[in-house]
Every structure is written in C-alpha cells, then in structure tokens.
Structure 1
C-alpha cells in the first residue's frame, strides 16, 4: 500500500522530453553485464555441440528455433537481433499469455514475475557490444514497448473511470507521445525511490496516474463541453502539471466564465496562462477595472479574448495607453473592450499602429480615430490588404470621392468590415439591374451608407418587390424611387410600408396614382400614420383643399403642421389670397412674404377695377420667370 507521505517524494518531471532523455531513462532495461571470459566462451561452445547431438524431435518448431539460435550467424553473445527483440517484447509485456508445452520460453499465469519463466534479459547481453545501429535499434525497440505498456495502462485507468473504449482510445491517441512519455519517465524514475524499488513498472505507472488525478479532470473537462482533441491538447500544454489546469479553471469560474468557454480560454491562452498564478491573473483584471471595464463584464471579456491573460503587466499597460493616447476616456475604453474584447490582447501593437495610420489617410484626426474605434472597435479586426484597400479601390471606381468615403466610414464604419465580393458588389449590381444610374448609386451610398449593411435577399429585394407589386410603382420608375429614397430599403414591410400604402388607398387614391406620387416623393411611405392623419385632416377640413392638391404635391406631408402649414395658411387667410401648396410651403420665409405682398397688391388693383394695370402686371409676371404665373392666385 502506497501512503500519501511516500507519494510526496515522487519526482516531478515535465515534458517535452528529448529522445536522449527517454533513452537514458530506460537504458536499465538493456543492461549489459561484463564481458564473458575465454573459459566461459569455451564452455558454452562445448555445451552447444552437446545440444546439437541430442535433438528434440517431439516439437519441430521449437527445435527449429533452437537450431537458429545456434547458427553461425549469431551475434557475439549467442543471440540474434530478432531473438533479442522477442525477449524484449516478452519481458515487458503487460499480459503474459500461456504457451504450449515444449516452447522455448514458457510463460505461466501463476508466475510471480516474467523473470521467473523467461531468461533474464540481462543474460542476453552477456557480451560487450559496441555502440552501433544494432545497439540503438534494440534500445529504441525497448522504448516503443514501454510506451505501448504505458498507453495500455492509461486506457485501463480510463475504463475504470467509466469511459468508453472508443473515447479512451481516441483521447489516448491525442496524448501520445507527450503525456504518455511523461508518465513513462516518471514511473521509471520512481524505481530509484526505496518504497518503489521492488514494485513493477505497471504498478508505478498506475500510481503516477492516480497521483495526477488526470482521469477525474478529463471527466470534468468533458462535462464542460470540451471535445477529446481539446482535452488532449490541454493536458499536453500543462507539461505534466495537471493541477495547474484545475486551479486555472477554478479561477475562470470565479469570474463567471462558464461552460465550454472555460476550455476555450484554457486552450487559447496556451501554456502561459497555465504557468501563471492566481495573483498575477487578478492583477490583470484589477488594471482593466481601474480603466473603465466593469467587474461583471470580466467573464465575458476573458471568454472572448483569453489572450489578454498571457501578457506581462508592462505589455498590458502599453496596450491600454495605446487607446488613451487617442483621446479615449475610461467610459469609451470600457465599452469598447466589452463590445470587441480582441482589441486589447489579440493583435500586435505594430499591426494596430498600421491600421490607425491608414484610417488617418481619410482625413481623420487622432481623436477622430479614437472616437471611431470606441464606436466600432471591430475595425481593428479588419485586414488592410485583404479588406480595406480593395474596398476603397472599388468605391473610387463607383465615383465616390475621399470625402464620401470618410462619410461612409464615420456614419457606418461596419461597411469597412464587410467582404467586398460576397456583400457589396452583389448589392451594387442589383441596383444597376433595377435601373439606378451610376451617379445615383454613388450618391445614394454616400447619402445612406447603412444601405450596404442590409441583406440583399432578406431586406433589399423584398422591399423592391413590394414597391412593384403592392405600392403601384412602375418598372420604369423603380430605379428612380430607390435612387431618390434609399431609406425605403430600411423600412419594415409589415410594420411600415404596407400600413402606409393601405392608408393612402383609404383616402381614395388609386394604386397607379399612388405609384406616381411615390416616384415623385419616395419618402411618402416613411412617415408614421399618426403624423399623416392630422395633416390630411387640416388640409381637407380647415384649408378646404381638394384631394387633387395633395396628389399634385405629395411633399405636403414633409412639412411641419405647427411650424409651417398652419402659420402660412393663416397669413394667406388674413391677406385673403391663396397659393398652390407648392408655393405656399416650399419657399423660404422671405420669398413667401414677397409673394404674399405681390399677391395682395394684385388683389387690391383687381378690386379697384384697374384691369389694364392688372393685365400689365400679369404680362410682367410672365416675363419675370419668378413663378407667379403658376401660383394660381385666388382672390377672396
């Protein structure tokens, strides 16, 4: 029985292990005794001649093997290389199988050890053999056998831990040879301890596995969603210090890293995370919290970017200063790290400086870039050569200037994170297909950059089909509608567009006329019905205007009822004149008052009966091209 006190004296070995170390460790297996004397050699030769005269005839196979060992092609110690390798296999086999009677090497299940029924492996090397390929091959074969034995012991421990045969085999293949070599060398070195001197290698290997608690750890990792390749890689990364995996995992759970993210964090953090103690890990979180990252966010951040746990404190503070030097405050820094944790530990400082310098080429200042990264930190994850440069070249081809690109970047920076071929090019080609002109495409992208963030098949195309089939827009005008009102593509069909179409149809406007109104003013479908209804009610009931006035000037709904429509209507009523809606609302305040004064003068002249002067004024108006000839002035 091995006590806990004895196990504390076990030597702790770490891998990776060189071939030289392994060869040295197991060299005791192939121990060579001192050279045989000449008299001993003569005695062996005489005995061999005696055996040649008395042949065993009851077993031809055994006799054949015996004769082969006595042939002239033997090695100096009397054994062939194949025979030596066979002895190695038999002497280090875990399960000895009974042989038939008459075999040269009899193995019985009742044997206490393999040495009791086999010739001692030491007797094989009864002559001094110089270092050669022959000697190296024997030692490497012994190493392979010992590895196989250790591998089988590990599988047996897994089966006792109630793991399936397939799972145990697959996991063992991932642990071979790193962790298996660690167990093998540690078990071999334990023979030097007095308490293990008389125990077999199998017993020592089992003791090593039990002390490491690797089987319960594997079950715990499997329970948390790690696959066997991930578990195997994680155990190999620990370099034999299995306890570091458990302690680091417990620390991750304490900051609310849960489920499969524990294994992901351990794997992506690599060996450096397993080598750190809890105090060093806590210090990193303390620095983050000091600079605006909330404590309850730590689990999410570490789950998404465990690489930040691998930096030294000096490197970590350098990353933080990189963002604060761009004018970013603690609040912006904290939200940025939460939105995209990779900005703090995933990319090198050189790469980050290159991206900031490229963004400044659009005319942005250092502070502008800081605000941009705080708003959309995913930009730091985009490649300059593979993502940004092809996009800029394509936008330039469409006719968008650098100022337009700067607007796209500042208004919707996510556009610079999209793939060009699979996202932007397809949408631009779709706009061409429906009739949007090239200049219109450039202007609509600059005016409404969010257009490029919408799904072509789930958002853009369904809206276009709705306008053609349900809103009365003709095939000829659809390109004009999208070019003038790209914002329509961002509206919900069921919650916005369909409700507005039904409202206008309820006013008595037919579908074809509604399509022409939309072509004249595409934004007509974007207003809320709660805003449209009071304006229409005021137009019909207070202003006593016909529906045709609204059809001629659908932009009427774009003006404020309280600030534009009602005040100007009162001015017209007070002066007893009337204008078309276009001239009543679209002009500036100064132009409106000038037109009202001119209309009042014409009304006064009309009322005084000076018709000639009125006709003269009318001819003057027609030649002045100021729009008064089209105002449809009514006199009350």
Structure 2
C-alpha cells in the first residue's frame, strides 16, 4: 500500500468542492479516527492529542475519500455520513493490518515514514484490561448521552430535549454523524438554532433539519452560511422565504458557488429568465443538487424530443428533472403510446400539466385510466385536460362523475373536476334547467 508521498495529486482538485463540505468531511474524518483509535485501546485524551497534531493525516484521509469516490464528487453527488464512515474505517483497518502497533506513529508522522523507535503509547492486545473497558464505556457515553463523571445527561442532550427532540432521535443523529457529539453547544449548535428561529422557522421544523442535516451545525454562520445565503439572494431567492427554503432542502447551504453556478448557467441556457430562476430556487431548491450532465441535460433533451418547451416545464414542475429517464419517464411515455396517443399529443399533455410524469404508473395513472374508459369521453379529452390525473379518484373523480350521470347533462371533463362544489352544482342546475326548456 502506498501511503507516504510528496506530491499533491492524490485526489481530485479540492477547488471543485465546497469549503463547507470540506470542513464537514474533516470533522467526520476526525470523529471516525477518534473512535478507531479508542477502539484500539487509546484513551480519549491521548486520541484527541494525536488527532490535534495530525492535520496532514486528516487531509490524507479526505484525499483517499475523494480519490475513491471521484466520479461521484465530479457529478455533484455528496457522500452520506455512513458512506464516509464505511470508506474511512475500511482504509484505517487496512492500515492497522499493515502497520500494527505503530499505527499511532503512522498517523502522527504522516507523510513521513513512522519512527519505529519513538516512545509512543502502544496499542494494547485484543483482550482489554478493566481500565481499557472503562475508557471504552466513556466513548460509548457520547451515544448514550450520559456524562460518565456526573451520571447526568450531556448538555447536548438536555438542550435538544428542551427543544422537543426525543432522546432516541438524538442518539440516532450521533450514531449516524458522530462529529455532532463533539460540536460546541454554545459555539455551534445554539447559534445555528437561534439563527433559524430568527428566520421564523418553527421549532419542530428545526428539529427535523437537525435530524436530516446535522452537518449544518458544524458550518460557520459568519463565514459560510450567511455569505451563501447572500449569494443565493443575489440570484433571486426570496429572502423572506428563507425559513421555507432551508426546511425544504437544508443541504442547499452546503453547496459550493461553483456547483450552484453550474445549475444556474444551465437554466439560463434553457432560456429561463433570472427572475424565474430565483422563483425556482425558492420553490424547489433541490434543483441545485441535480447533476447538469447526468440529470438536467439528458432530461431536458428527452422532453425536447417530445416537442416540449423545456424551460417552461422546468419552471412549472422542476421535480421532473430529478426523475430517472429509464425508470420513471420513459415508462410513462410508453404507457400513453400503448393507449393510442402520439408523441405530439403526449408532449402537449406534459406541457399543459407539468406533474404528469411524477405520478406512479400503478398507483395513479393505470387505475384512473381504467375508470376514464368507463366515462363517456373521447381519448382526446385527456389531451385537452391531462390535469384529470391529478385529482383523487375516490373522493373527486368518481363522485363528480356519478353526480353528472344522475343529472343527465353533459359537461367538459375540465368543468366536472376543476370547479368548486358550489359552482359545479350551479352549472349542473343551469344545464338541467336548459335541458328541460329545450
């Protein structure tokens, strides 16, 4: 295994990555290394000392991570916490197999070869002493939430429980993202929570965000989060809607400006105005997470082949661009082709009703189509009103059509479903009255 090197070409160019993402990954790498060293029997204090003077090795771990998953990073895909942990633990285990008890020297002296005669705390044998077991129990306390000295809940747990989070949820966060347990309560967690409260976000939504994206608490408010928000506001994000935007997609604030600009440039390429782009980012910030080359461009080309105004479709229903072409989009096209519609008609349908392709075939389109066949309408009516597939079959479509049949009059499918209950009844009465006069 080649571990020691003098160059810097070990992984992809870090300039391609968000500084916030790098900070979060380094925190995670430190947490993984800490737990690994303690698993080998080192005390928490010694493990912390080693890590504090081993920045080059932490950078090396991040480089290994980027090298292993280079294609994912280049496509804009971020690794999950579990993926990071699995990759780093696997690599650390291979290093331990190679270097054994001098692993500490490897970590401290990187990138230079370890000094074998250096007096360092040895890694104990597999059977730990009672003292070592006690140290391991202290490490476990990070997840259990108990302060091993006082026997009380740790401040992190107390604070989050006061906000309304269940203790089981907190444990899950720390198991999934161990670095969270080492964040300063007053220096990191509280400021982020208070900032979100200032934006007008309800406590229950903040708890959901902390569960989904605990990394946010590891990112500097003044140096990263707030500047990123200002940048996005310059692109048109409505600053009055930040609470909703962050709740919809908290990961938005962790993306680099380069990644965001790539998405913006593509939207401009589609002819979407800057004002509309701001509205898209506000309503559906997830669009930034999609890879331009792997998702946005291929999906745009596919819908363009159906004669669709892609820019307008993306503005109306950006969710379409997160769908798999093979697994989600093509099957819907085939569904309508098999039922006698032309590609041009299908293009008209998706243009008129953007969410059409987001519906499940078996759970939505098929049962509604089957019922449509029992209705006294030509197939062309669905081209005129594809919104039919957006109404609830049992609570809207069937009751309205039954009422229509009882009245003995005819209405356009649009009138049957889109009118409010009172207006629907008014139209029926007028039609029935006219029918009686005639």
TM-score when normalising by structure 1: 0.48
Query: How many Å apart are 1:594 and its aligned residue?
Result: 1.0
- Aligned partners of 1:391, 1:220: CA distance in 2, in Å? 43
1:579 aligns with 2:411: yes
Q: Is residue 212 of structure 2 the alignment partner of residue 390 of structure 1? A: no
Q: How does 1:494-513 map to 2 (within 5 A)?
A: 494-513=326-345
1:478 to 310, 313, 316: 310
Q: Which moved more, 1:579-588 or 1:311-320?
A: 311-320
- Report what 1:155 is aligned to: none
Aligned residue in 2 for 1:406: 243
**SS of residue matched to 2:123:** helix
Q: Distance in 2 between matches of 1:514 and 1:224?
A: 66
1:537 counterpart residue number: 370
SS in 1 for 2:280: helix
Residue in 2 that maps onto 1:287:
141
Q: Is the 8 A contact 2:143 2:175 kept in 1?
A: no
Q: Name 1:305's counterpart in structure 2.
A: none
Tell me the residue number matched to 2:215.
378
Determine if contact 2:353/2:387 at 8 Å carries over to the other structure.
yes
In structure 2, distance between residues paired with 1:237 and 1:393: 51
The equivalent of 1:464 in structure 2 is: 300
CA distance in structure 2 between the partners assigned to 1:429 and 1:219 by the alignment: 46
1:343 aligns with 2:177: no
Give the alignment of 1:214-229 within 5 angstroms: 222-223=99-100, 226=103, 229=106
Which consecutive unaligned segments of at least 5 residues does structure 1 have?
1-217, 255-275, 293-307, 607-636
- What pairs up with 1:145-224 in 2 under 5 angstroms? 222-223=99-100
Indicate whether 1:559 and 2:388 are aligned: no
Give the gaps of 5 or more residues in structure 2.
1-94
What CA distance in whole angstroms lies between the structure 2 residues aligned with 1:249 and 1:348?
A: 35
1:598 to 430, 435, 438: 430
CA distance in 2, matches of 1:550, 1:371: 40
Cα distance in structure 1, aligned partners of 2:403 and 2:325: 40
Q: In structure 1, what is the Cα distance between the partners aligned to 2:303 and 2:134?
A: 61
Kindly indicate whether residue 247 of structure 2 is the aligned counterpart of residue 415 of structure 1.
Answer: no
Q: C-alpha separation between the residues in 1 aligned to 2:346 and 2:429?
A: 35
- Contact 2:267/2:311, CA 8 A, preserved across alignment: yes
Output the CA distance in 2 between the equivalents of 1:409 and 1:402: 11
CA distance in 2, matches of 1:237, 1:319: 40
Task: State the alpha-carbon separation in 2 of the partners of residues 239 and 313 from structure 1.
Answer: 37
2:195 is the counterpart of 1:358: yes
Maintained 8 Å contact 2:213/2:251: yes
Bigger relative contact order (CA 8 A; separation at least 6): 2
For 1:520, the equivalent position in structure 2 comes to 352
How far, CA to CA, are the matches of 1:283 and 1:533 in structure 2? Answer: 56
Cα gap change, 1:571/1:318 in structure 2, threshold over 3 Å: closer, same or farther?
closer
Q: Write the distance in 1 (CA, Å) between the matches of 2:96 and 2:392.
A: 68
User: What do you get for the CA RMSD once the two structures are aligned?
Assistant: 3.5
* In 1: Cα distance, 2:117 partner to 2:220 partner: 33
1:353: how far off? 3.4
Residue matched to 2:289: 453
TM-score, structure 2 normalization: 0.68
SS in 2 for 1:577: coil
How do 1:263-274 and structure 2 match up within 5 A? none
SS at match of 2:341: coil
1:246 aligns with 2:126: no
Change in Cα spacing, 1:522 to 1:381, as seen in structure 2 (3 Å) is same
Deviations 1:71-101 (A, max 9, x none): xxxxxxxxxxxxxxxxxxxxxxxxxxxxxxx
